[in-house]
Structure 1
Amino acid sequence: MTDSADRAIIAHLRRDGRATVAQIAADVSLSPAAVSRRLARLERSGVIRGYTAIIDDTRVGGLEAFIEIRMLGAVDAEQLADLARGIPQILEFYNVAGDPDLLVRLRVDDREELAGVVNQLRRTGLIAGTKTLIVLNSWIRT
């Protein structure tokens, strides 16, 4: 369970994941030792699952896309999640309510690579249909 101090630490990390314990402590009005203990607890409990860089993919190149997936019958979404973990271009995988059944976000170098990933998913025999959406512009809350 998190309290207001934990939420303040999390908010600081969302703004600056590279902040030092001392910087966070000054921002949230706690001692560095208290912030260190709280960070360790948040990491152990899984609230903080890791630290990452936010990349501006428009400067990297390539295509970002979403694939809507409709599963065949009563296919277990975990089967597709296992499949997705084996496809390095897939960045995120969501099991959603409604239509479609699953939503996948991926990044590829070009349209040919995108077609290859879509075909790889379709060939599993687990999927009734797909719809691919290519990202033109994006905005991400940081």
Structure 2
Amino acid sequence: MRLNDLDERIVHALAEDARRSYADIGSEVGLSAPAVKRRVDRLRAEGAITGFTVRVDPAAMGWETEGFIEIYCRHNTSPDDIRRGLERYPEVVSASTVTGDADALVQVFASDMRHFERVLERIAGEPFVERTKSVLVLSPLLRRFTSV
């Protein structure tokens, strides 16, 4: 399904702060609170909105080291195999198949450099992994959580 302009504005408002009231969102987009609720209910029913969540600063959890790991897989490794292999690592916050030389790119948060190294070693030891290449984040410059 494709969102119309009004639905997109509602989704962006919810992505910014999902705890906002329907009345508050309605005043921003020019609708009544019941009209916003009906639209949100419809967007949920149609699968455009898949849920509501909390964004937690990883540093608040003691995870202050961030890095990315490029994974180079053995021949004939499917994306499902990669996902299944990575989903048991709580340190992995995102993983995607990518174009280029690597097969997947994995974002990892860890408590410190040693923790990151242990996660990297465990991922490198997965049966589907041929080799890895990693980079550490020095300073995050821009993070957008409200984009769709």
Name the TM-score, length of structure 1 as normaliser. Answer: 0.89
Matched, 1:45 2:46: yes
Q: Secondary structure at the match of 1:64?
A: strand
Shift of 1:41: 1.9
* Greater alpha carbon shift after TM alignment, 20-29 vs 34-43: 34-43
Shift of 1:99: 2.1
Matches for 1:116-131 after TM superposition, within 5 Å: 116-131=118-133
Question: 1:19 maps to which residue?
Answer: 20
User: How big is the alpha-carbon RMSD for the aligned residues of Structure 1 and Structure 2?
Assistant: 1.7
Specify the code of the residue in structure 1 equivalent to 2:46.
S
Question: 2:116 maps to which residue?
Answer: 114
Q: Between Structure 1 and Structure 2, how many residues are aligned? A: 142
Specify the code of the residue in structure 2 equivalent to 1:100.
A
Question: 1:79 maps to which residue?
Answer: 81
Looking at structure 2, the residues matched to 58 and 124 of structure 1 have their Cα atoms a distance apart, in angstroms, of 27
Shift of 1:32: 1.2
Looking at structure 1, the residues matched to 84 and 42 of structure 2 have their Cα atoms a distance apart, in angstroms, of 29
Q: Structure 1: any 5+ residue segments left out of the alignment? A: none
Looking at structure 1, the residues matched to 122 and 46 of structure 2 have their Cα atoms a distance apart, in angstroms, of 36
Q: Structure 2: any 5+ residue segments left out of the alignment? A: none
Shift of 1:60: 5.5
* Greater alpha carbon shift after TM alignment, 39-48 vs 116-125: 39-48
Question: 1:140 maps to which residue?
Answer: 143
Shift of 1:53: 3.4
Looking at structure 2, the residues matched to 118 and 5 of structure 1 have their Cα atoms a distance apart, in angstroms, of 44
Matched, 1:2 2:22: no
Shift of 1:55: 3.8
Looking at structure 2, the residues matched to 8 and 130 of structure 1 have their Cα atoms a distance apart, in angstroms, of 40
Looking at structure 1, the residues matched to 36 and 143 of structure 2 have their Cα atoms a distance apart, in angstroms, of 27
Name the TM-score, length of structure 2 as normaliser. Answer: 0.86
